[in-house]
Structure 1
Amino acid sequence: MANPNKAQGTRWESDVRDYLNEALGLVDEYGTFLDPFDAHNVRRPAQEGARDVGDVHAVPFVLECKDVKRPSVPTFLRQAEVEAHNAGFPYGVAVVKARRLNVRRGKVYVGIRTWTRARLALGMTTREFAERYAFTASLRGADTGRWYMATELEPFARLLADVRALRHAQ
């Protein structure tokens, strides 16, 4: 019998991948890639070797997907950032399932450093960036390593599209 927690996590990773591919217009009405060779297709990479490269690749983001009752966001973010580095991607974020809600309502957590780098890449003010992508702050104590920003998967898909458009224009 397969591990039910692993199956639950795999299902969440697949739901996130499928939602982002649909939101970004990368698949047809049947969920088939429009261009299977497009590097921008959101994928679940095969794990190879000792260095984990994350659960979902959405260039230029690595998503660490979690389906847990009690999220440990700072730990998830550290893991996402290490895995983004291992995969050679500039941004790592954590995506946590919101119980009994549609996948688009999944919580996306972004560390302050990653959030700031993405904001500066888009040339937006803090207020513009927070409002456009519906971010809220979680500032826990004086240790900035535990601070993060949160949004949902739906506005994150807009952020992903905007970052990709900027990179394509350069």
Structure 2
Amino acid sequence: MANPSKAKGTAWESLIVGYLREHHNDATHRNVQMGSKDIGDIAGYYLHALEAKAEKEITLPSYIAQANREAINAGQPFGCAVVKRRMKGVSDGYVVRDVATDVRLMNRLRDMEDALKAAAPSAYALLDKQHREAA
């Protein structure tokens, strides 16, 4: 690849895909770029359009604006940026979203947990225990 910055970005995207396949969703994959109707760099991060960023200078406002636009284009309710942390691996990177998006996500999580707790209390208890132990 002739452009070193593009190669660095592609490598970061590939590392994220590998991590998400192992820990989240084995169908995770890199998206084909769509120009003005871009749908994010990576698909398969549940309910999100994911924008991967591996840049020396971190500019959160532009990352978040881009992720939010791409979430709309992708038909996903949430956008986020996964930002590479210098000299660290994927698990030490940052997942970044604006407060409004995070509140919408937490409200959805709360509502879904309340619904599961009401409909299937033993299933809720098992999943709650499993996720608390994984932390």
TM range (shorter): 0.7 to 0.9
The answer (yes or no) to whether the contact 1:84–1:92 under 8 Å persists in 2 is yes
Task: Give the whole-Å Cα distance in 2 for the aligned partners of 1:62 and 1:96.
Answer: 14
For the pair shown, which has the larger CA radius of gyration, 1 or 2?
A: 2
Distance 1:48 1:104, change over 3 A: same
Deviates more, 1:47-56 or 1:64-73: 47-56
Task: Give the whole-Å Cα distance in 2 for the aligned partners of 1:9 and 1:77.
Answer: 17
1:122 equivalent in structure 2: 109
Q: Aligned pair count?
A: 111
1:80 partnered with 2:38: no
Kindly indicate which of the two structures has a greater share of residues assigned to helix: 2
TM-score with structure 2 length normalisation?
Answer: 0.76
Q: Percent identity?
A: 41
Structure 2 unaligned spans of 5+: 112-130
Equivalent residue for 2:37, pick from 51, 55, 61: 51
Secondary structure of 1:59's partner? coil
Structure 1 unaligned spans of 5+: 27-40, 125-161, 163-170
1:61 partnered with 2:48: yes
Task: Give the whole-Å Cα distance in 2 for the aligned partners of 1:25 and 1:109.
Answer: 19
**Paired AA for residue 53 in structure 1:** I
> What is the aligned-residue RMSD (CA, Å)?
1.7
